[in-house]
Every structure is written in C-alpha cells, then in structure tokens.
Amino acid sequence: MNKSPNGEWISIFNTEEIERFSWFLKIDLKDAKGLQIIYDLNLVDISWIELDSEDIECYNNCLQENLPYVSTFENAKNSDLKFGKIENSSDFKQWLDYYKNKLK
C-alpha cells in the first residue's frame, strides 16, 4: 500500500487477489493482469483501474527508483481497460480489512 496526503492506493498483480477483489465488489475482472485501487481515507472516493502489461512495466520501473506509480481513468480509457468508482464503501471496507490482515 502506498500513502498520499489525501488517501492511499494499492497495486495488485496477483490473480487470486484480483479475483477476490472482484468477488467482494461484484466487478468482472477475470482477464485483468493487474489492478490499482485508489481511495481517500474516509472511503468516500474509491476508484479502481484495470492495469495491463504496459502499466506493470511502468510500475516496476517506478518501484526500482522508489517512485509511486498511479494510473488514471484517462490511461485506462486510452488502453481500452476497465475502470470505475465504487459506491458501496461497506463492501470495499470489508475487502480492505481482509487485504490488510492478509499483509500482516
């Protein structure tokens, strides 16, 4: 997880974790190679963006240089990737609690 003054973002490349996120939030991500979730600390503004091979390469390059990589809806739209907002913050909170516990 990465932190910013306004919130956090999570980048996931494990297909099992993407499937679990998809199941918790009822979003079809069966072909996704990666996923980025961006949310504010109050869980009011929650976005998800599907990542592709190019995003993964950018992410890994940024990781090597200790830089954050945050995708955008515009990037996803230009690459024909799925993206959206999450309105049900309680489902997201349930997934987030699961995910944070798994990282411990």
- Full pLDDT tens readout for the chain, 104 residues: 676 656 899 999 999 999 999 999 999 998 899 999 999 989 999 999 999 999 999 999 999 999 989 999 999 999 999 999 999 899 999 999 999 898 87
Q: Which of 54, 17, 50 is nearest to 34 (CA)?
A: 50
Q: Which residues pair with 11 in a beta bridge?
A: 36
CB atoms within 10 A of CB 85: 9
Instruction: Count Cβ atoms below 10 Å from residue 13 Cβ, excluding itself.
Output: 16
How far is it, in rounded angstroms, from Cα 22 to Cα 63? 25
CB–CB of 39/25 below 8 Å? no
Task: Note the Cα 10 to chain centre separation in Å.
Answer: 5
